[in-house]
Structure 1
Amino acid sequence: MQGLDIGYMWGLVPVILGYVPLTLGMALAGMACALVLACLLAVERVARVPVLDRAVVLFISFFRGTPLLVQLFLFYYGLPRLVPFLVNIDGVTAAVIGLTLHFSAYMAESIRAAILGVDRSQWEAARAVGMSEGVMMTRIILPQAARIAAPTLVNYFIDMVKSTSLAFTLGVTEMMGAAQKEAAGSFLYFEAFLVVAVIYWGIVEAFSFLQRRLEHRLGRAYSR
């Protein structure tokens, strides 16, 4: 029985680490866009605008009900057939679009629940002083809902970081893609994937630590 090639694994670490910025960049871009879209979807779900609400429900149902990998293939291979100017779309752009739409559907429901979780007295007080619905939502309700939703949203970001590994199926050489290429050249698949798994683990643990710190700080601020 052949043991692990530790020397190969150590040599592979800096190679994989070189693709961490691309992995995190895709995750951060996807998170920023998904957060904006999710807020808009959540506000609409609370407001329940006729016709538009049904479209939003359909959007959320589709992106929560189909696998992310299928969605990535649709955006990368299918979308250019329907929208000609996207024929030259690259894998990174398709991956970010896929991450944005997929996770915004989940995040919208979390933000909606957080909005509804804000005490009704806050809504009534804002209306009592003559605030419009838009001003009330942006200045009173959403800031309080953000505190409620923050831990869940960080969890979605962590999931998004891990989901960037699917981008290699679109030809993107990120961490998983780099590991796949190195393994194909050395035939040491177990060692290569073990290295990338440990690096992903380390990244997730770092963000989990930040999440715990955030929860502690938010809890302390609102316990006074």
Structure 2
Amino acid sequence: MRALDLTYMLDLLPVLLSYVPLTLFMAVVGMVVALLLASVMAVERVFQVPVLDAFVRLFISFFRGTPLLVQLFLFYYGLPQMLPFLTGINGVTATIMGLTLHFSAYMAESIRGAILGVDRSQWEAAQAVGMTQGQMMRKIILPQATRVAAPTLVNYFIDMIKSTSLAFTLGVTELMGATQKEAAGSFLYFEAFLVVAAIYWVIVEALSWAQRRLEIYLNKAHAR
């Protein structure tokens, strides 16, 4: 059994770290847009707007029921064949689209559950003082639902960061794609993937720490 090439691993670390910003960029943009889309869908699912509700149900069912990798291929390889004006779409854009729509479907259900978990007395009190549905959701219901949904949404963000590793299948040289190339050039696959695993691990642990701090803060604010 050969020993680990520690020198190679140390030399590889700064190379791979230079691709972390792209990985985080795709995840952050995907998360922001997914959160907005999921919030809209969650509110719609609560009020069940005629016709629109059927479309939202279908959307959630499709993106939760099919693998993310298949969705990425649909956006990158399939859509340009059906819609010629999308032939210029690049791997980064396709990845962000895939991450956004895939995770928004899951997040919508989590947010919907958090909204429905708000005590009915809060809904009745808001209606009693004459609030419109929009005012009630914005000022009373959503702030309370946020405290419940926040930990789950952070978990989705962590999953999204790890899922960016699929972008290399679309030719994107992000963290995982760079690792593949470096490993193929050196044939030191174990060392290369061990380094990238450590990078992902550190990122996830940092977010997990932030998640715990967020939970403490939200619980304290709620206790006041």
TM-score (norm 2): 0.98
Equivalent residue, structure 1, for 2:138: 138
Equivalent residue for 1:76? 76
- What is the deviation of 1:68? 0.4
Aligned residue number for residue 125 of structure 1: 125
- Residue identity opposite 2:222 in structure 1: Y
Per the alignment, residue 20 of structure 1 pairs with 20
1 CA distance for matches of 2:187 and 2:11? 15
TM-score by length of 1: 0.98
Q: Runs of at least 4 residues of structure 1 off by over 3 A?
A: none
Give CA deviations for 1:6-28 in whole Å, capped at 9, x if unaligned. Answer: 11011000001001110001000
CA RMSD of aligned residues (A): 0.7
Percent of counterpart pairs with the same letter? 75
Q: Show the counterpart of 1:67.
A: 67
Matched residue type, 1:207: L
**1:119: how far off?**
1.1
Query: Structure 2: how far apart are the matches of 1:35 and 1:140?
Result: 19
Q: Could you tell me which runs of 5 or more consecutive residues in structure 2 were left unpaired when the two chains were aligned.
A: none
Q: 1:222, CA displacement in angstroms?
A: 1.2
Deviation at 1:52, TM superposition (A): 1.3
Given residue 167 of structure 1, which amino acid in structure 2 is its aligned partner? A
Match of 1:205 in 2: 205
Consecutive unaligned residues of structure 1, counting only runs of 5 or more, are none
Matching residue of 2:184: 184
Deviation string, structure 1 residues 60-106 (Cα, Å, up to 9, x no partner): 11101111001000000001112211101000000000000000000
Q: How big is the shift at 1:139?
A: 1.6
Worse-matched range after superposition: 93-102 or 214-223: 214-223
Question: Which secondary structure does the structure 2 equivalent of 1:2 belong to?
Answer: coil
* 2:44 alignment partner in structure 1: 44
> Amino acid of the residue matched to residue 22 of structure 1?
L
Count of equivalent residues: 224
Letter in 2 for 1:150: A
Shift in Å, 1:124:
0.8
Partner of 2:223: 223
